[in-house]
Amino acid sequence: MRNVSKTFASGFLFKKRIVAVDKVSFGIPGGKPIVFVLAGESGSGKSTIAKIILRFIKPDEGEIFYRGRNILSFNSKELFLYRKEVQAVFQDPYSALNSIYPVDHILSITAKKMRVDQNRDIDDVIDEALISVGLRPEEVRGKYPYQLSGGQRQRILLARALIPRPRLIVADEPVSMLDASLRAEILNLMIDLKNKHGASFLYITHDLSTASYVGDLMAILYRGTLVEIGTVDDIINDPLHPYTQLLMISIPIPDPSKRWQERIATPEFSAFRGLVSGCKFYERCPLRREDCRKAPPSLRKVGGRYVACYLY
């Protein structure tokens, strides 16, 4: 009895003298709740995409469809309903909470405005949400952000995101500021919430290890362009795009018996990025050819996925 929720983004070009997102198209399928990973290094545009989906930034080109409707054309009422269904958790649990109020503040506001069942008592809604993220209400209610640990704060942000019973939670690097032992817990929590609450996640990260742990589908971004989309297992086990391959071999494996043997060349390029014709990965690609410079490759179907590379 699940409604098909589909978020489909197509074709943005976002120019601020630096192209942050370049004609990106991808879709998160509805039906079964999944974790869709948007992976890329810093500067790849993934946070920009998150903000666009959350309607904090307007793209210069393109549309985003949520369940078939273009979110850019929403009026304020429709936007409010959209926000109920698409929530978010951010990277920094320290700055995401207003330091002058206890944590109940943002929970109450969300509950008051967005709780699904308007007849329920607000405190009940809050307590329920806290319990579902593994927090004991009596331990955190009334406390100020600085009195809680990073892990607790992040859980509170997750609890807040769950209150409106969203269909999609955009999680932008939710664990990168947490310690290793905490990461596992929060990631497990995400998987549990996906299964129990039926919420899909758009998990944005640069860490492919965590991506492979929680992800079902994955899209790899490189400097604003999608280079590979497919299932997480496919991509991790058999990366097709040269950039994906580079990423995979760069992940440090926590096993001293499996150390990096060869030295890979990592030519650095400066931070300045002008407009480039042709494939953006040309400079660093070990498999590049002359025609790669002429025009950027489009996404083409290779087996069960899409790769943007002339090799295929």
Task: Give, as ranges, the residues between 40 and 79 that touch another protein (CB under 8 A).
Answer: 41-42, 54, 56
By beta-carbon proximity to another protein, the closer residue of 10 and 176 is 176
By beta-carbon proximity to another protein, the closer residue of 23 and 83 is 83
Residue 163, Cβ neighbours under 10 Å: how many?
26
Least CB distance to another protein at residue 119 (A)? 17
What's the full length of the chain, in residues? 312
- Report DSSP letters for 58-108, one per residue: --SS-EEEETTEEGGG--HHHHHHHHHHEEEE-S-TTTTS-TTS-THHHHH
The tokens of 28 are what? 């998160």
For another protein, which residue of 18, 109, 276, 311 counts as binding (CB under 8 A)? 109
Least CB distance to another protein at residue 46 (A)? 12
| CA dihedral over 88, 94, 98, 103, signed as positive or negative | positive
Residues 180 and 159: their CA atoms lie apart, in Å, by 21
- Tell me, by CB under 8 A, how many residues bind another protein: 71
Residues 218 and 206: their CA atoms lie apart, in Å, by 12
By beta-carbon proximity to another protein, the closer residue of 25 and 273 is 273
Residues 125 and 164: their CA atoms lie apart, in Å, by 10
Residues 153-212 that bind another protein (CB under 8 A): 157, 160, 179-185, 187-188, 206-212
By beta-carbon proximity to another protein, the closer residue of 84 and 167 is 84
Least CB distance to another protein at residue 163 (A)? 8
Residues 137 and 102: their CA atoms lie apart, in Å, by 13
Least CB distance to another protein at residue 1 (A)? 27
Residue 68, Cβ neighbours under 10 Å: how many?
10
Judge contact between 210 and 175, C-beta under 8 A. yes
| Amino acid code (one letter) for 53 | I
By beta-carbon proximity to another protein, the closer residue of 254 and 304 is 254
Residues 221-260 that bind another protein (CB under 8 A): 236-237, 246-257, 259-260
Least CB distance to another protein at residue 247 (A)? 6
Is 311 a residue that touches another protein (CB under 8 A)? no
For another protein, which residue of 117, 266, 286, 290 counts as binding (CB under 8 A)? 266
| Amino acid code (one letter) for 162 | L
For another protein, which residue of 1, 16, 270, 286 counts as binding (CB under 8 A)? 270
Residues 17-36 that bind another protein (CB under 8 A): none
Place of tokens 């308007």: 118
Least CB distance to another protein at residue 268 (A)? 5
By beta-carbon proximity to another protein, the closer residue of 73 and 181 is 181
By beta-carbon proximity to another protein, the closer residue of 42 and 301 is 42
Residue 7, Cβ neighbours under 10 Å: how many?
23
Least CB distance to another protein at residue 88 (A)? 6
The tokens of 120 are what? 């329920």
Judge contact between 159 and 106, C-beta under 8 A. no
By beta-carbon proximity to another protein, the closer residue of 10 and 282 is 282
Residues 125-154 that bind another protein (CB under 8 A): 145-146, 149-152
Strands in 77-192 per DSSP E: 86-89, 168-172
